[in-house]
Amino acid sequence: MNDNLIDEENEGNVQDNRKKHINQLLSTCQKVSIGCLSIFGLGLFILSFFMPSIIENQINGKVPDQVILTEDNSGLWAKLPGDSQVDLMRVLTVYEPTNLLDVIFRGQKPEFIEHQNVYSLIQVQEFINRTYTEDGKEVSSNRFVTFQEKNAEEGTKQYEVLNPGLFGGWYLGTHLSEPKLSWMTIGQVLQNLYEQLVLNIYYQGFHYQFVKDEASSNALLKMITDEQKRKDMFNDHFMGLGNPDTMENWVRLGLEGHDFGPAGQLLKDYFDLNQEQVNDIRKVISQQIKAINVSAMANSYKCNPYGQDPDQKKYKYDCDGKYFTALQWQSSGISANPPPGLGILPTDSVNFTNNTLHDYIEISYFYKGGEFKPDYGQMTFDLDWAYQFLNRNYDYPNGDSMKDENILQHKGNVEFIYEIGAKFDKSNNLEDLKPMQERFKIESLEMTHVVYKWLQQMGVNFSYRKNLDGKIDHGVIGMFASESIYFHFRNVSEFLLPFLVSQEVVYKQKWSDCKTMFRQSIGNIEDQQVESICKSMGYQLNYNHFMTLQSLCTFGVYGYQLQEFGKSHQLNTNQIFEICSEKGSSDQSFQAIIELVHSELRQKYKCQYSHCSKQELAIKQFARCEITLNPPASLEKQISIHYWNKKIFPRPFEYGYFMSEFKDIFIKDPPKLSDDKAKKILHFKGIFNPLAITSAFIYQNKHPKFEKEFKDIYQVEEYEHLTQYLRFAAIQGVMGGMTTPKTPKDLFFGYSEQLGEELKNKDPAGNGDKATNSWVMMGDPNMTMADSQNYPQVLYTGKDNLTMTRYIKSMNKFDYAIYNYSYFDGNKTITKWENPWNEKEDITSSTDGITFKPFLEQQDIIRLYVPQIYRVLEMKAIGDGPQIYGLDTISFELDIDNLNIDPKYYNQWNGTINLEKPFNAPVVVSLPHFYKSKSNLKDLIIIKNQNGHPIVANEYDKIYANIEKFSGAPLQAVIQFMISMKIQKDELFNNVTEDMVLPLITLYNSGNFSEQGVKDNFGDLKFGLSIINWGWYLIMSIGIIMILGAALIIVIAKYKKTQVVSVISDL
């Protein structure tokens, strides 16, 4: 029993030892595993919270190397696409108006068709000549930009777009400064007087002595055997010898000095004369003019008469326009002292005898009254001084300008007079006029006062009759409309008759080309002769062939031109004869068929003489569109000559066209204009005269007492009929029309505007201004390396201050917005920089938009300088932007309040930028379709797509940038503006109901990083951000798993311990 007890006790000890050993073994493993897992798991868990900050610090530490502007990373910041591989795109959208003339004359709402994305370009940009300061904080360079077309063929398609030239020309005309207006007026007046005074004296004396009545003119026209034609040549309203308003053409003929001058050819064509008759008439008139000179001018005015030999001259001055102008201005020496024996009554001013000089007042007449003291009327200006003051003494070469600094026609002198005069106006102290007196060597301060005031009144009273409540608008309409009507009428005169003849001849003869025509019209002509002729004249027949033939035959078969033509093409005498003879060896000679056509045209259009003259047909077409509405068989009926030749006549223009197409705008139906009435207004005392047109608006608006004078001049009963047409003529003529055909390439890179070119190249003494900018450009130029030197800029590199990375220090050496301004001072064109705004626009805390400051936050505001609009734009964060190729962005959008009405920027509407000053035109910029504008502009016009559906503003019209916050790089950015022209109710646009803006184009500018560009430049950043975004989750998860693993071991260990105890117990 004891043994059993001992055995049991020993067995129990063994079990206890085994249990104790097992417990010890499990405890050690558990402790090691649990400890390791717990420590590492907890460590990773804690580390996961600090990891983003650690990695972000690592990223932040590397950002300066990437964003600070250095030469090492210049491929990233100084070149585009460059290392950044950013695609910079320019896309141009065109707006095509459909009803602008209806807007102007019927008050309709403007409608436009939007042609989207018609022209795309890639912008290539580099900052060249980079120079860094010693401390590396600034970099100077020159901006060099070129463009590559993505769809070149689209850039060459033409669209009928709003005409910037018209709006620019109208703006310039109606915003002339008073000094410039006076200068231009003086030049115009003096040029007019040089010619008119001579003609006035000649034709008054000529008319009194030799053409008193129809009977006395018979001696002059004795070579005209047709009695009825002699009467017509005397009485005709357009060219009559007995009409004082038109007789100057005959005087011009006598002064031309040769038989083939323009006046002679004009009279020859109009009255259907032959060259011999013209020559005889010229000789008779020339002899009589010489008689007038000797008896009247030389003795009365102490000047050398017309045509006098140099060795016979005994006076200082010749009897020419310059001398007569000075004499009349200085003392009314012509009108107050008319040539004796000519029946001319003395007057104080030529204004009383010639209505082409409305309100011209000579200085001798001017100082006799008005604001001056009574004793002023006793002063007398020296004639020699007046001659020097009014006239330049030489002709300068083309491209040059006058250098005389003491003459009135010098622009700088006029501005100087106004500058000094302004001081006098404030003080009323004559001593303030001393500088003016000294410069121009005027005898006294009182005379200086008179000169200043005379110049002032010429600028406003003569140019637009301000003394009769005229407006500068009226003067500008007069200037544009008169020139337009004159040149249109002249072009119709030159084109229409040869065109009709050529069309009819070809139609009748069925000539297919030049070779066929000459083979069938000249006998025995050889192929090489035909080839030679048609090679020089053109193989395809047109009216120019017949104009050439008419010119060759002007002086008969023995004329020099025809003989030279024959020699150059190796024609024999008989062949030369056949060109201008009605009886050639061929059955179809040129002249025979041409005479037949002339005869038919005469019968059809009821012309006066055996041939219709160029002017007769032009008058009929101008007045009633009679020729195009009733054409010969070879032509189709049209409502305007424009539809027969759009190149020469780019727009409908005729009075008859306007009255027919716009008759609904009048209360009373417009009357038809007869030939006789048309002849009375188509001359330089009618609507060829800008002052007569200006007066038409004044008579209509304010002065019913002038009604009779108005009707006598204009031959219409209702003012409105004429004044509305004059607006139409101004718009459709030299102003270029409301629309113009342009390609997107023209609009982006620029084109030369005809009206601007004319002003730039015109004589500065006759309204020309060499500083006129004739280049219209809505985009940017393709620079040359030389061009880039004109665009220097200085940027802050960001060294020592990352916030200022790429901030602009200066552009073009200025720290505020400026534009390039050209100015003609009378001697040369000066270019300088000007501030476009009422206050300076500081650009130093803005960037050029290629990059922004690093480490952006949601509350930041970024500032972007856009040099094309001279404005700094503020953009605010609106929230997180899209993820772009794995990078998060902050989305910034233009704060539309930037474009609110502000006196600093002169803007008239919220949501717009007024660029009138830098563009010298009524240019208005807005977001496309007036996006988010707080104005009613979008309601005043209609924009439709090409399918006719209205377009309204939407999110695609905004300006925005999606920017990576660490680097400040805009991974996506869009800057877009709609460029428009302002139109307002004024004397030209008098039916416009409300000020509005009319769209021309939208320029869409975008910059986008490519996927490869992000990978190459932001790969490390993407990796680091990936760790920040995902790595800490992984590490935290591993830590948590390890902690959970330790807990699991504990649970398992406890479970196993329970199982062991249970087993042992069972034993």
Report if residue 757 sits inside a domain: no
Confirm whether 532 is domain-assigned: yes
Domain boundary among 963, 988, 1009: 1009
Last residue of a domain, one of 675, 701, 732: 732
pLDDT band at 1023 (very low <50, low <70, confident <90, very high): very low
Q: Are residues 684 and 797 in the same domain?
A: no
List Cα–Cα distances, 866 to 114, 185, 488, 839, 856, in angstroms.
25, 39, 43, 17, 21
Same domain, 723 and 839: no
**C-alpha distances in Å from residue 532, one per residue of 525, 566, 568, 579, 588:** 11, 11, 9, 15, 21
- Would you say residue 75 lies in a domain? no
| Cβ-defined contacts of 826-829 (< 8 Å, 24+) | 826/401, 826/402, 826/410, 826/411, 826/412, 826/413, 826/415, 826/764, 827/401, 827/402, 827/403, 827/410, 827/412, 828/401, 829/770, 829/771
Check whether 672 has a pLDDT greater than 80.
yes
* Domain shared by 208 and 331, yes or no: yes
Average pLDDT, the chain: 83
Residues 391, 322: Cα–Cα separation, whole Å: 7
Is the pLDDT score of 588 beyond 70?
Answer: no
The predicted pLDDT at position 260 comes to: 64
Least confident of 130-139, 487-496, 1012-1021: 1012-1021
Pairing mode, strands 739-742 and 159-162 = antiparallel
Residues 6+ apart with CB under 8 A from 425: none
pLDDT band at residue 659 using 50, 70 and 90 as cut-offs: very high
25 pLDDT higher than 60: no
CB 864 within 8 A of CB 843: no
Task: Enter the tokens of residue 73.
Answer: 């990373």
Contact 167, 290 (CB under 8 A): no
**Residue type (1 letter), 796:** Y
Structure token pair of residue 237? 């309203």
* Alpha carbon separation from 594 to 29, 500, 554, 581, 1054 (Å, rounded): 127, 11, 14, 11, 129
Contact in structure between 122 and 88 (CB atoms under 8 Å): yes
**pLDDT tens sequence across 533-552:** 999 999 988 878 877 887 77
663 and 580 together in one domain: yes
Residues 640 and 789 in one domain: no
1058 CB neighbour count, 10 Å cutoff: 10
Counting Cβ atoms within 10 Å, is residue 174 exposed (0-12), middle (13-18) or buried (19+)? middle
Residue 421 lies in a domain: no
Q: What SS3 class is residue 421?
A: helix
Stated as kind and residue range, the H or E segment containing 255 is helix 248-255
Spatial distance between the Cα atoms of 88 and 119, rounded to a whole number of angstroms: 14
Residue 965 lies in a domain: yes
Same domain, 185 and 149: no
Q: 132 and 245, same structural domain?
A: no
Based on the fold, state whether residues 586 and 636 are members of the same structural domain. yes
Question: Does pLDDT of 497 surpass 70?
Answer: yes
In this structure, is residue 769 part of a structural domain?
Answer: no
Strand 111-132 vs strand 86-97: parallel, antiparallel, or unpaired? antiparallel
Q: What is the DSSP string of 342-390?
A: S-PPP-S-GGGT-GGGTT---HHHHTTSTTS-GGGGG----HHHHHHHH
> Which of 752, 728, 233 lies closest to 477 in space, CA to CA?
728
Work out the pLDDT band at 1048, boundaries 50, 70, 90: low
Residue 842: strand, helix, or coil: strand
* Cβ neighbours of 189 (radius 10 Å): 20
Which residues, 6+ apart, have CB-to-CB distance to 324 below 8 Å? 193, 197, 198, 201, 301, 334
Identify the residue with better confidence: 692 or 842.
842
- Which band of pLDDT confidence, cut at 50, 70 and 90, is reported for residue 736? very high
In this predicted structure, what is the pLDDT of residue 28? 62
Least confident of 245-259, 506-520, 565-579, 723-737: 245-259
Determine the structural domain holding residue 127 and report its residue range: 86-163+774-1009
Instruction: Please write down the HEC assignment for all residues of 512-534.
Output: CCHHHHHHHHCCCCCHHHHHHHH
Q: What is the pLDDT of residue 5?
A: 46
On whether both 194 and 299 belong to a single domain, the answer is yes
User: Cα separations (Å) of 775 from 54, 168, 536, 746, 755?
Assistant: 58, 11, 35, 10, 10
Q: Does residue 744 lie within any of the structural domains?
A: no
Tell me the two tokens of residue 350: 């030529």
Cα–Cα dist 1061/19, whole Å: 8
Bridge partners of residue 739, in order along the sequence: 162
For the CA atoms of the chain, what is the radius of gyration?
A: 44
pLDDT at 202 over 80: no
Q: What is the DSSP string of 44-105?
A: HHHHHHHHHHHHHHHHHHHHHHHHS--STTHHHHTEESGGGTEEEEEEEEEEEES-HHHHHH
Q: Are residues 985 and 1029 in the same domain?
A: no
- The enclosing H or E element of 113 equals strand 111-132
For residue 769, pLDDT over 70 is answered with yes
Tokens describing residue 582: 């009605």
Beta-strand pair 969-983/960-964: antiparallel
End-to-end CA distance of the chain: give it in Å, rounded: 21
Q: Positive or negative, the Cα torsion across 556, 559, 561, 566? A: positive
CA–CA separation, 583 and 592 (whole Å): 7
Q: Could you tell me if 117 and 146 lie in one domain?
A: yes
In a domain, 281, yes or no: yes
Q: Express the helix, strand and coil content of the chain in percent, nearest 5 each.
A: 50, 15, 35
How many CB atoms neighbour CB 458 within 10 A?
22
224 vs 8, residue with greater confidence = 224
Instruction: Put residue 906 in one of left, alpha, beta given phi > 0 → left and psi -120 to 50 → alpha.
Output: left
Number of domains in the chain: 4
- List, for residues 362-416, the tens digit of each pLDDT value: 888 787 766 677 767 678 899 999 998 987 654 544 545 555 566 788 888 888 9
pLDDT value for 394: 47
Could you report the per-residue pLDDT of 939-964, keeping only the tens digit for each?
999 999 999 999 999 999 999 999 98
pLDDT at residue 634 greater than cutoff 90: yes
Cα–Cα dist 965/858, whole Å:
9
Query: What mean pLDDT is predicted for residues 1-25?
Result: 54
The CA-based angle 823-829-832, given to 5 degrees, is 55
146 and 95 in a single domain? The answer is yes
Question: pLDDT by residue (tens digit) across 128-171?
Answer: 999 999 999 999 999 999 999 999 999 999 999 999 999 999 99
Q: What is the mean pLDDT of residues 817-824?
A: 90
The two structure tokens encoding residue 907:
């803007």
Highest mean pLDDT among 72-76, 838-842, 1044-1048: 838-842
Structural contact between residues 1001 and 95, judged by C-beta atoms closer than 8 angstroms: yes
pLDDT-derived band at 351, boundaries 50, 70, 90: low
% the chain with pLDDT above 70: 80
Closest-CA residue to 729 (of 27, 50, 104, 15): 104
DSSP designation for 682: S
Q: Find the angle CA(368)-CA(372)-CA(376) to the nearest 5 degrees.
A: 60
Rounded CA gap, 352 and 345, in Å?
11
Q: Is residue 61's pLDDT more than 60?
A: no
